[in-house]
Amino acid sequence: MTLATWSKYSEWPMLGVAVLFLAAYSAQVIASLRPAQHSALEAVIWVTWAVFAFDYAIHLWLAPRRKRWFLKNLHELALLILPVLRPLQLLRLITLMQFFHRAGGNALRGRIVAYVMASAALLIYAGALAVLDVEQNAEGSNLTTFGDALWWAMTTITTVGYGDHYPVTGLGRLVAAGLMVGGVAVIGVVTASVASWLVENVADRDTDAAGNDPALTREVARLSRQIDQLSAQLADRGQPAAHDGQENRA
């Protein structure tokens, strides 16, 4: 079996595992659970982790050039090893989201905006979950409910930053840094989409009115008329010349 075949057949099951992981993680962080429930969810999270590790191992096994694949996919290994960054595994959902949208529409800009919006929503959800996980039992924390964490994530990704809620632990601040970088990227893509739309539309209008270098177009049109005249001249001369020949022969 090749790497491409495995990727193709494992895609949908891995999406399901990722959703299961998200659900278990969310329940554990947000809900107030009895110890038995908490342990059950912990088991589910570890099973999904094992499935991701297995998928990683299979990918590494099937890769034609293992060392190269390993070096190019160090981030996958980091996602497996660092338990705090587990919410980042949810970013796989975005990669997989392409399959939903592939059928519909071919407007590049529209698709990019759709992905960015979906990524931003997932980033806000996962960031709020991760920061709540880290901060809710920290000393001096002001992020103790999921509502506050979502609100904080929203103010962070848009770079508003009221400061009514903010992380106080190192890990919480690392999550925040990820959200800030995501926010700058989101603002960048939104702005760039508008800009590329404007550049294209205003430019189109100009091109419609004035043409693609009108001087060159006129010059080529003049050439064309000249060659038409040449053709006509040669055709005219062709017949008298034939006549000449007949006269000469006569």
Instruction: Please state, in angstroms and rounded to a whole number, the distance separating the CA atoms of residues 203 and 137.
Output: 56
Tokens of 37: 């429930």
Contact between 232 and its own copies by CB under 8 A: the answer reads no
Q: What is the dihedral of CA 17, 19, 20, 21, to 10 degrees?
A: 90
Tokens of 105: 């529409």
Contact between 121 and its own copies by CB under 8 A: the answer reads no
- Least separation, in Å, of the C-beta of 242 and its own copies? 7
Contact between 98 and its own copies by CB under 8 A: the answer reads no
Q: Which is nearer to its own copies, 51 or 124 (CB)?
A: 124
Instruction: Please state, in angstroms and rounded to a whole number, the distance separating the CA atoms of residues 130 and 231.
Output: 79
Contact between 239 and its own copies by CB under 8 A: the answer reads no
Contact between 84 and its own copies by CB under 8 A: the answer reads no
Cβ neighbours of 33 (radius 10 Å): 13
Q: Which is nearer to its own copies, 42 or 206 (CB)?
A: 206
Site track for its own copies across 180-219, x = CB under 8 A:
xx-xxxxxxxxxxxxxxxxxxxxx-xxx---xxx-xxx-x
* Range in contact with its own copies (rule: CB under 8 A) among 20-28, 38-46, 88-96, 150-158: 150-158
Instruction: Please state, in angstroms and rounded to a whole number, the distance separating the CA atoms of residues 50 and 148.
Output: 32
Q: Which is nearer to its own copies, 8 or 75 (CB)?
A: 75
Burial 176-187 (b: 16+ CB within 10 A, else e): bebbbebbeebe
- Least separation, in Å, of the C-beta of 88 and its own copies? 18
Q: Which is nearer to its own copies, 89 or 141 (CB)?
A: 141
Q: Which is nearer to its own copies, 37 or 207 (CB)?
A: 207
Contact between 3 and its own copies by CB under 8 A: the answer reads no
Contact between 109 and its own copies by CB under 8 A: the answer reads yes
DSSP states along 156-208: HHTT---SSS---SHHHHHHHHHHHHHHHHHHHHHHHHHHHHHHHHHHHHHHH
Contact between 62 and its own copies by CB under 8 A: the answer reads no
Q: Which is nearer to its own copies, 42 or 244 (CB)?
A: 244
Tokens of 149: 């964490």
